[in-house]
Structure 1
Amino acid sequence: MRHVHLPAPRVARSGPVSETVRRGLGDKARWYLPTALAADLVGAGLPVALVFDAAQQARPLYCALGAALAWTAVQAVRRRYAFRSLGESRGVLPVLHDWLILIGVLAVARIATGESTPRLAALGALLPALLITVACHKLTYRHLSAARREAQAVSRVLVVGEPGAVESVIDHLAARTDHPYVVVGVIPVGPGTPAGGVPEAARIAGALPAAPGEDADAVLGAVATHHADLVLVAPGAMMAGERLRRVAWALHDEGLELAVFPGLVEVSPKRLETLSAGGLAVLRVAPPVCRGIQPVLKSVLDRVGAGLGLLVLAPVFLGIVAAIRLGSTGPAFYRQERIGRDGVPFTMWKFRTMVVDADRLKTDLAGANENDGHMFKMRRDPRITKVGRLLRRTSLDELPQLVNVLTGDMSLVGPRPPLPEEVAKYDEVELRRLTVRPGMTGLWQISGRSDLSWDETIQLDLQYVDNWSFTSDVDVVARTFRAVVDGRGAY
């Protein structure tokens, strides 16, 4: 993959650091916790009180209080109120999981107390708790993401390791802002200096020191000087084994945290498992999901979703067809050869958004390509019709691909289906995106679409291929609706 110039690392705010920050918890806004507690208590308690009172239940206030306390207790046990967790996730599925646990807890309580409110009414009374908690999570997530783009609410990190490994860690952290780490210094091990402009906080010799405490003293001194919250080690031949163990001891004796970068990138934590073998800490990486019930559920979701979509959207199809035919001459549908799973070509269907001879004109516009990779993208492509521009802005031009999903050539969720001429230029890394069926939507579509660089697109596709799960597909589908309304990157 081509080299991409990465942005400079974020710079943390200078100044004294509180004990909370020194423990690596960051300086998140203090209103996160009370807001979350208030939203959960009110979201669970108030609807239950109103519904149970309307149903003439004997003790609506007691039931409301029980529901509110049960909902906060479930989330407390699941550590949703931990300072590290607040604002870190906008996903719906973790909240849904908690809510289902709440339903189970209250179902047991219902049997034990003999409560007689109709089941559907009781279930409906608990639904606002799910919705309000999700909304609260999204609110804090957006606030925290904005703060981190300004290098606030971050953990100050020292990176230790051989220069090449340190540079790799810095590049990955600098390329994104959806994490809490800001590198404030590096401690190279051995000769050489990592690029990237991050100050050298200390240096550790390549050879083992004569005195066992020299490495630890260098790291602890750098932590104190740079007010670091976390020491991140990129292990290598010169920083491993007993040497790493002694540095860890020194940091832990001072109440400081140590993290070890295993050299893996874009691997979901769900696939990781820590083991111990003969005293060695082993990180097990599970293979991507390709067998079992989850692929079956994905196939069912694809076929049922596509079938229902075609049935429900039939009137919309007729309206779009009429608009296209009235707006320009030519057929309403556009067929194009794309490359599917394992490199097998198929015919993809779309609503026509360009003039009839658009493919012939593409050669003349090659020099105006605004994408830095194999795709062709222009913000103001002259081949797009007036109706086509609206269809692309709303992603309605993609709806005929439901036929491809129904026939099994595509999936509802997956990488973008590439053109044959794009695949002809793929390298070994890029070809891996063809190991799954392409999708109508995916991480590319909900992360900026055409505004992304080619390397960012490939990174998202590989992240999907390696870390796919049925629940992640459901999450992508839910987030697609917001991306369609937002329209960012759709042109």
Structure 2
Amino acid sequence: MMTAVQEPAAEVRQAPGYTFPSFTTQGIFGRAGQPTAAAWRRRYRRILAASDAVVVSVAVLAGYLWRFGPEPAGARVGPFTYLWVSLFISAAWMSALHIYRSRDARITGIGTDEYKRVVNATVTLAGSLAFTAVIFDVDIARGYFGFVLPAGAAGLISSRWLLRRWLWAQRRQGDYLSKVVVLGRARDVRYVVHQIARKSAYQVVGVALTGKPRSFFEVDGESLPVVSDERSVVDAVRRVGADAVIVAGPTKGGSQYVQELGWELEESATELILTTGLTNVAGPRIHSRPVEGLPLMHVELPQYSGARHAVKRIFDIAVSGVALVLLLPFMVLLGMLVTRDSPGPALFRQERVGRGGRKFLMLKFRSMVETAEDDLAGLLDRNEGAGLMFKIRADPRVTKVGAWMRRYSLDELPQFWNVLIGDMSLVGPRPPLQREVDGYPSRVHRRLYIKPGITGMWQTNGRSDLSWQDSVRLDLYYVENWSLTGDLIILWRTVVQMFKPLGSY
């Protein structure tokens, strides 16, 4: 959890009769002069639609040529040639992507929902085609469909990933952002703005604060203009050209105030966004269900066992088994380099705490001198790690080969064995030491509800550069919201990060 930063002691106060200025901010919060949210969303949807059409067409054409060649003789499905079948599949596929709202602005560019909807649309199409073939007793070319659908799905996901990278690059330059005003108490506003600045589709153009009046509000070293209070936020939205108002936490007037604010914002087509306060709950676990006019928010319980975990275990066994076979020659070479570089064994075994507090021996290639554990006591006063973790950027115990392996995470390859025998998972929270667990606050013990992982959200979001609070937050978020699709994305990001290491020392 994030610790609230104390408000600056010296701030420009609002004088009596002061009129809130109409100005925006720059820096990490974006830039002025960009198109409205509605305009750039329409443009990006058109880009996605064009990209999807190209990918689907290429996949269908490639499958057609691969199975039948450039001049198919008698390739037909009933009265139709496969050329007409291909055109029908292309149209049905684009329709499925539209029906599943895979280009919805609320899910494109961030999170895993976009990829899930692409996959679900493709699976639905495949099931519909198979069902139709069975019902009408149509003899189809299985090789054709077996090529087109998987290739198209892979192409769609890859194109969405590439476009997402492009979108993020645009947003880093201040484009393709929704301009927002954040409304609420100073503490709540500071937290929301801090999170938005990390990675999001929003540009904060001002804040509306309840409580004491002021002209500027500082967050992470940036001065944000205070454009209004809770009573005049609608007028401020018009002045600064905001696309949405984010209500950060409870406000004066409660639900009645929020309802009336929503009515007033409707006139200018400005969105109203409410923060739930459920900081560790992902969207798929939240469902809104009205009961007799009362909107109820249902939060599904996190799942720590069951079919999904069984599938996760099967996936772990399959991937770790294949990885051990394929990487064995390379791992033997690494072991030889370790023993030649410094005296001692190639493998380092260390007791870690796994699921439910069960202890196990985690394997790594030895990246430090053999006396590293004994030398630790003399280095505690130089600790640069956060919270309960011990880290030193220039740790004198690290060997030359060890520093190179750590940079590219190669020292962790033996942990595939821990995954194969069931001590660890491919993706999960960071495996802690017993001394770290002994110092956990009660809520942090939730990290032990599932198996630790070779990689995880901590690995792909900064590793050793993370603060203790951020490390805990990411691990707890994963524990309560993990999914197989999310695991695949984390694994992919881990592979990418091995070539562009960040925070590894």
TM tier, shorter chain?
0.7 to 0.9
Q: Is the 8 A contact 1:295 1:470 kept in 2?
A: no
Superposed displacement of residue 324, structure 1: 2.4
Q: Which stretch of the first structure deviates more once superposed, 441-450 or 295-304?
A: 295-304
Q: 2:306 aligned with 1:292, yes or no?
A: yes
CA 1:379–1:67: 2 relative to 1, 3 Å: farther
Q: Is the 8 A contact 2:304 2:449 kept in 1?
A: no
In structure 1, the partner of 2:369 is: 355
In structure 2, the partner of 1:158 is: 181
CA 1:200–1:49: 2 relative to 1, 3 Å: same
Amino acid at match of 1:288: P
SS of equivalent to 2:426: strand
In structure 2, the partner of 1:185 is: 206
In structure 2, the partner of 1:141 is: 164
In structure 2, the partner of 1:262 is: 276
In structure 1, the partner of 2:344 is: 330
SS of equivalent to 2:447: helix
Within 5 Å, which residues of 2 pair with 1:178-327? Answer: 179-191=200-212, 196=219, 197-204=223-230, 215=231, 218-236=232-250, 238-327=252-341
CA 1:471–1:41: 2 relative to 1, 3 Å: closer
1:81 corresponds, among 91, 103, 107, to 103
Q: Is the 8 A contact 1:93 1:475 kept in 2?
A: no
User: Considering only aligned residues, what root-mean-square deviation do their CA atoms show, in Å?
Assistant: 3.1
Amino acid at match of 1:332: A
Q: 2:429 aligned with 1:415, yes or no?
A: yes
CA 1:4–1:431: 2 relative to 1, 3 Å: farther
Q: Is the 8 A contact 1:343 1:434 kept in 2?
A: yes
In structure 1, the partner of 2:12 is: none
Q: Deviations over 1:422-469 (max 9, x none)?
A: 333333443332332211111112233223333322221111012123
Q: Percent identity?
A: 34
Q: Is the 8 A contact 2:354 2:424 kept in 1?
A: yes
Residues in 2 aligned to 1:354 and 1:188: alpha-carbon distance in whole angstroms: 52
Q: How many residues align?
A: 473
2:89 corresponds, among 42, 46, 67, to 67
Residues in 1 aligned to 2:357 and 2:134: alpha-carbon distance in whole angstroms: 56
In structure 1, the partner of 2:32 is: 14
Q: Is the 8 A contact 1:273 1:283 kept in 2?
A: yes
CA 1:344–1:126: 2 relative to 1, 3 Å: closer
SS of equivalent to 1:265: coil
In structure 2, the partner of 1:43 is: 58
In structure 2, the partner of 1:341 is: 355
Q: Deviations over 1:101-154 (max 9, x none)?
A: 222233345557876453134311333312221221111111111222233211
In structure 1, the partner of 2:414 is: 400
Superposed displacement of residue 376, structure 1: 2.7
Q: Deviations over 1:57-100 (max 9, x none)?
A: 24343233222222211111112234555544576544332222
Superposed displacement of residue 307, structure 1: 4.2
5+ long unaligned stretches in structure 2? 7-25
In structure 1, the partner of 2:48 is: 33
Amino acid at match of 2:376: K
Within 5 Å, which residues of 2 pair with 1:348-387? Answer: 348-387=362-401
In structure 2, the partner of 1:207 is: none
Q: 2:493 aligned with 1:479, yes or no?
A: yes
Residues in 2 aligned to 1:287 and 1:478: alpha-carbon distance in whole angstroms: 27
Residues in 1 aligned to 2:4 and 2:162: alpha-carbon distance in whole angstroms: 33
Superposed displacement of residue 268, structure 1: 0.6
Q: Is the 8 A contact 1:159 1:187 kept in 2?
A: yes
Amino acid at match of 1:202: S
Q: Deviations over 1:168-217 (max 9, x none)?
A: 3223323x12x11222122223446665332222223xxxxxxxxxx4xx
CA 1:403–1:30: 2 relative to 1, 3 Å: closer
SS of equivalent to 1:199: strand
Amino acid at match of 1:229: D
